């Protein structure tokens, strides 16, 4: 199993994909933090809550980690490298398990980049506007840890979804449409907090931070892990049954 | 001991289409076996079932006596060369091999060995998208060799290769077999494997039509001879006396059911003048086409 995880990590680091995703994350974080900090007066930025919001832009890494997970599993079908993978490791559920594990590690790394980027940018804006910083606090530490966990789980969900659909572009489009259109529609039924995107968002905001629209950190983490596990199991089942032609 | 590759009653259906039907054969160790048939005959499906990539509808496909998926460390028993295009375009050839070696628990030092063996060391760090078809094919061979297997399975490896690439591949496979390796190589062109194979398995429309040593196929190919002689009628009588059937062909021609050498001996003994004498058996390719209904 360790071998397969190592191979998956090598796959991730021997193409340009991760580099592009890191650049995407940094661009998104820069955009979000700069729009927020640039438009607000120094007095508005002084509150610890607002400063926390600036740093919470790192949660965008969860969406990017989801895309990474999809590409890590469905991308192998797109390039046809899945044949090589299964020739070396013919027990396919083990391969999917390794992909989930490696994907989660990559998700952690992506979130870490986003957090460092968001924190440094927020600190620069605050010092530029001579606002006292509240960027070192227990609350922010929980936000950091929550976002790391959220991106890791999101990557796991992406691997499962990619394995289930085995179509890279299709899976990315479905995931994004779900997040942008599907989940907002669930508000009508009042079940929105239980949807995967909202569960991940609840994990990302970290422990000790409650919001009426989101589940608590504990239940949200369990639910998000449940989504990841169910998708990974379904994906492994479908991949195991399918022919690689 | 189990044969290196064996299929028993192998059948694969895709909906109403039968890709492989009740196929049974086993290949011998230490030999090169050609797996022939027109495009669409079911060769790739059979190979992919053998390699655990496609599920059989019924029957068994065994590698060293076991289904591929049950092999412990399969790449150490069998190396497979599938289509040449299965690469991530921006990964280098060497990194492609590193990924496979990591998954199989093979030390990185082996990567340099196989790159050397397929003469790809110089291009190893270039992205695969910059590789020619021949280089991709050699990369596939390198990947197949990583686990130092004793069996190589190749699916249409000569497709799209230039003559030099084909010669390289042929020499390489000869070398592999001469060191005791077993080779199972598919092709839709008999000529590609005729110079290489010890025996052939021929399938057509999902079914086995022949499994025999190449010499036997060659023997089928060499049959009659054509002679031209101003004394054609006399030659025909002399041949008849020796029990050889012959029919007139054209003004002075005679088509006989014996090799040219034998006709020549009889003509000399009976002092019949010959203007022309040549073997006229079907070529190997014609026998193949006959077995496979003339399809390519």
- For B13-33, how does the pLDDT look when each residue is reduced to its tens digit (9 = 90+)? 999 999 999 999 999 999 999
Which band of pLDDT confidence, cut at 50, 70 and 90, is reported for residue A31? Answer: very high
Instruction: Output the six-digit token pair for A148.
Output: 């790391």
Restricting to B residues 97-156, those with a Cβ less than 8 Å away from any Cβ of A are 98-100, 102-105, 143
Closest-CA residue of chain A to B83: A80
Half-sphere exposure of B122 (CA within 13 A, CB side): 3
Which run of H or of E encompasses B245?
A: none
> What are the tens digits of pLDDT across the range A140-184?
999 999 999 999 999 999 999 999 999 999 999 999 999 999 998
pLDDT of residue B213: 87
Q: Do residues A120 and A177 touch, judged by C-beta distance below 8 A?
A: no
Q: Give the H or E element holding residue B220.
A: helix B214-221
Per this entry, what is the length of chain A? 245
B294 band by pLDDT with thresholds 50, 70 and 90: low
% residues pLDDT > 90 (chain B): 60
> Taking CA atoms, what residue in A is nearest to B57?
A243
Among A106, A97, A111, CA closest to A228: A97
Give residue-wise pLDDT tens across range A73-130. 999 999 999 999 999 999 999 999 999 999 999 999 999 999 999 999 999 999 999 9
pTM, to two decimals: 0.86
Q: Is B29 helix (H, G, I), strand (E, B) or coil?
A: coil
Q: Mean pLDDT in chain A?
A: 94
CB atoms within 10 A of CB B294: 10
CA distance B53 to B47: 9
Q: Using alpha carbons, select from B13, B48, B10, B45 the residue that is nearest to residue B26.
A: B10
In this complex, the residue of B52, B85, B91 whose CB is nearest that of residue A14 is B91
**pLDDT at residue B290 above 80?**
no
Torsion angle, alpha carbons of A159, A162, A166, A171, to 10: -170
Q: Report residue B278 CA to chain centroid gap.
A: 29
DSSP annotation string for chain A: -HHHHHHHHHHHHSSSHHHHHHHHHHHHHHHHHHHHHHHS-HHHHTSHHHHHHHHGGGGHHHHHHHHHHHHHHHHHHHHTTHHHHHHH---HHHHHHHHHHHHHHHHHHHHHHHHHHHHHHHHHHHHHTTPPP--SSHHHHHHHHHHHHHHHHHHHHHHHHHHHH--HHHHHHHHHHIIIIIHHHHGGGT-GGGSHHHHHHHHHT-TT---TTS--HHHHHHHHHHHHHHHHHHHHHHHHHS---
**Chain A residue numbers touching B103 (CB-CB < 8 A):** 3-4, 6-7, 85, 88-89
Residues in A closer than 8 angstroms to B51, CB to CB, are: 87
Q: Given a cut of 90, is residue B146 above it in pLDDT?
A: yes
Query: What pLDDT score was predicted for residue B210?
Result: 86
pLDDT in tens, B161-212: 888 888 888 999 999 999 999 999 999 888 778 888 899 999 998 899 889 8
> Can you tell me the distance from the alpha carbon of B276 to that of A206, in angstroms, rounded to the nearest whole number?
95
Question: What distance, in Å, lies between the first and last C-alpha atoms of chain B?
Answer: 36
C-alpha to C-alpha distance for A197 and A187, rounded to whole angstroms? 12
pLDDT at B76 over 90: yes
Looking at chain B, the number of H-run helices and the number of E-run strands are 10, 13
- Tokens standing for residue A17: 């994909």
CA B93-A101-A202 angle, to 5 degrees, is 130
For residue range B103-141, list pLDDT tens digits in order.
999 999 999 999 999 999 999 999 999 999 889 989 999
Of B52, B69, B88, the CB nearest to A79: B88
Q: Which of B71, B91, B102 sits opposite A7 (nearest CB)?
A: B102
Poorest-confidence range of A160-164, B48-52, B80-84, B116-120?
B80-84
Is residue A3 pLDDT above 90, yes or no? yes
B218 in Cβ contact with B278 (< 8 Å): no
Determine the Cα–Cα distance for residues A2 and A155; give it in Å rounded to an integer. 19
In the prediction, which pLDDT does A188 show? 85
Q: What angle do CA A191, A192, A194 make, to 5 degrees?
A: 75
């Amino acid at each position: 199993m360790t071998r397969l995880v190592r191979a998956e990590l090598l796959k991730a680091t021997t193409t340009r994909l991760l580099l592009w995703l890191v650049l995407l994350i940094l661009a998104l974080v820069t955009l979000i933090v700069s729009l927020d900090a640039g438009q607000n007066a120094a007095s508005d930025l002084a509150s610890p809550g607002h400063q926390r919001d600036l740093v919470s832009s790192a949660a965008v890494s969860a969406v990017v980690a989801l895309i990474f997970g999809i590409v890590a599993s469905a991308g192998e079908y797109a390039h046809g490298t899945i044949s090589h993978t299964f020739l070396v490791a013919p027990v396919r559920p083990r391969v999917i398990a390794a992909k989930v594990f490696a994907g989660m590690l990559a998700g952690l790394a992506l979130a870490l980049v986003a957090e460092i980027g968001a924190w440094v940018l927020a600190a620069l804006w605050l010092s530029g506007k001579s606002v006292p910083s509240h960027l070192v606090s227990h609350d922010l530490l929980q936000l950091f840890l929550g976002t790391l966990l959220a991106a890791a789980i999101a990557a796991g969900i992406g691997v499962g979804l990619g394995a289930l659909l085995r179509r890279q572009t299709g899976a990315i489009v479905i995931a994004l449409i779900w997040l942008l259109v599907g989940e907002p529609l669930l508000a009508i039924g009042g079940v929105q907090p239980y949807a995967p995107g909202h569960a991940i968002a609840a994990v990302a905001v970290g422990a000790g931070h409650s919001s009426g629209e989101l589940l608590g950190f504990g239940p949200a983490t369990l639910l998000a892990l449940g989504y990841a596990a169910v998708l990974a199991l379904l994906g492994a089942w479908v991949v195991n049954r399918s022919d690689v032609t | 001991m189990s044969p290196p590759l064996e299929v028993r009653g192998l059948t694969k259906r895709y909906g109403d289409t039968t890709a492989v039907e009740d196929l049974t054969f086993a290949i011998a160790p230490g030999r090169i076996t050609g797996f022939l048939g027109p495009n669409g005959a079911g060769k790739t499906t059979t190979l992919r079932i053998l390699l655990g990539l496609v599920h059989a509808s019924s029957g068994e496909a065994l590698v060293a006596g076991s289904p591929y998926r049950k092999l412990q460390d399969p790449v150490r028993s069998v190396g497979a060369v599938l289509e040449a295009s299965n690469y991530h375009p921006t990964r280098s050839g060497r990194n492609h091999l590193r990924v496979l070696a990591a998954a199989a628990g093979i030390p990185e030092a082996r990567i340099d060995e196989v790159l050397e063996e397929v003469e790809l060391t110089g291009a190893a760090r270039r992205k695969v998208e910059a590789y020619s078809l021949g280089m991709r094919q050699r990369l596939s061979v390198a990947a197949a060799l990583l686990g130092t297997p004793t069996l190589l399975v190749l699916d249409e490896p000569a497709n799209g290769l230039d003559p030099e690439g084909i010669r390289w591949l042929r020499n390489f496979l000869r070398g592999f077999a001469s060191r005791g390796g077993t080779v199972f190589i598919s092709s839709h062109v008999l000529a590609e494997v005729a110079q290489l194979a010890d025996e052939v398995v021929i399938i057509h429309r999902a079914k086995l039509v022949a499994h025999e040593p190449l010499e036997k196929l060659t023997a089928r190919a060499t049959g009659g001879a054509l002679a031209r002689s101003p004394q054609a009628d006399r030659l025909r009588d002399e041949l008849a006396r020796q029990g050889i059937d012959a029919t007139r062909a054209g003004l002075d021609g005679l088509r006989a059911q014996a090799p040219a050498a034998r006709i020549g001996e009889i003509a000399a003994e009976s002092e019949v003048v010959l203007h022309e004498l040549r073997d006229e058996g079907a070529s190997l390719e014609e026998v193949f086409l006959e077995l496979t209904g003339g399809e390519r």
